[in-house]
Amino acid sequence: MPELDGSLIAGLPLFSAMSKKELDFLLCRARSARYPKDLAIFEQDGNADAFFLLLDGHIRVVRLNEDGEQVIARYINPGELFGIAVAMGRATYPASAIAAVDCVALAWPNEAWPDLTARVPQFASGAYRTIGERLQETQDQVMQMSTEQVEQRVAHTLLRLVQQSGRKTAEGIEIDFPITRQDIAEMTGTTLHTVSRLLSAWEDMGLVRGGRQRVIVTDAHNLMLIAEHRRKR
């Protein structure tokens, strides 16, 4: 398969310091697969039997509580590892992974993990660094939810999405996958109504442009002012 010859992958930071031999070792143990939009690549509480590297597309990581209420933990972008429960000694996935658009990913069976980490230690340390970043981001989120108003949280989230998954357009930077007001609400702990109101207000101020499942940030600078705005003090 031409996608697996390494040319596509060697450019990723995770693999940049690897030799050709190490790369081959990794790649020949993975299988590449297409995941159509809306497919669950794995399910929360499902048996964790593989871990993944996203090559193309965007993935929504979703947690469901016992009442069926949904929260979006994060989006995964190309080049990122996901589903690496095995690195944390977990037997099940803590969340579901849903393809936000058509995706291509590499998948390794969990049984390959010991060999992989033994033979290619950079791969293991990359995975652990990823986990560290996720923990940090999640703790940041807790802090934001504790200390910020809804308006600031939504602004921060939009800026983060645009930074991580933005695509330059003539009008500004567009979030590169379909995202609903409801999705943004589930990332920020609010309701789609409040998100819609905020986006409408910001559109009037010329900070963003919206559409059905589309958000474009046209004035990141002033949006940042809103995100950092302090009520008191």
Residues that bind DNA (CB under 7 A): 149-151, 180-182, 189-194, 196-197, 199-200, 203, 210-213, 231-232
d(CA 56, CA 139): 27
**Stretch (H or E) spanning 183:** helix 181-188
- 61 Cβ contact partners less than 8 Å away, ≥ 6 residues apart: 72, 73, 74, 75, 76, 82, 95, 96, 97
Binding partner of residue 200 among DNA, its own copies, none, CB under 5 to 8 Å per kind? DNA
Binding partner of residue 73 among DNA, its own copies, none, CB under 5 to 8 Å per kind? its own copies
Identify which of residues 115 and 171 has a Cβ nearer to its own copies in the complex: 115
Q: Return the ∠ at Cα 75 (arms to 71 and 81), rounded to 5°.
A: 120
CA 217 to chain centre: 19
Query: Does 13 sit near its own copies (CB under 8 A)?
Result: no
Helix, strand, coil percent values for the chain (each to nearest 5): 45, 25, 30
Q: Return the ∠ at Cα 120 (arms to 115 and 121), rounded to 5°.
A: 105
Query: Does 163 sit near its own copies (CB under 8 A)?
Result: no
Among 95, 99, 159, 223, binds its own copies (CB under 8 A): 95
Strands (E), the chain: 31-35, 40-42, 50-56, 59-64, 70-76, 81-82, 96-99, 103-109, 166-168, 173-175, 208-211, 214-217
Amino acid of residue 65: N
Least distance between DNA and beta carbon 152 (Å)? 8
Among 7, 69, 212, 221, binds its own copies (CB under 8 A): 69
Inter-residue contact 148 to 156 (CB < 8 Å): yes
Among positions 202-221, residues that touch its own copies (CB under 8 A) are none
Binding partner of residue 191 among DNA, its own copies, none, CB under 5 to 8 Å per kind? DNA
Among positions 127-146, residues that touch its own copies (CB under 8 A) are 128-129, 131-136, 138-139, 141-143, 145-146
Least distance between DNA and beta carbon 211 (Å)? 7
Least distance between its own copies and beta carbon 108 (Å)? 17
Region near its own copies per CB under 8 A, out of 5-13, 22-30, 102-110, 124-132: 124-132
d(CA 204, CA 50): 46
- 80 Cβ contact partners less than 8 Å away, ≥ 6 residues apart: 53, 54, 130
Identify which of residues 55 and 195 has a Cβ nearer to its own copies in the complex: 195
Query: Does 229 sit near its own copies (CB under 8 A)?
Result: no
The site for its own copies (CB under 8 A) is made up of 63, 65, 67, 69, 71, 73, 85, 87-90, 94-95, 125, 128-129, 131-136, 138-139, 141-143, 145-147, 186, 189, 230, 233
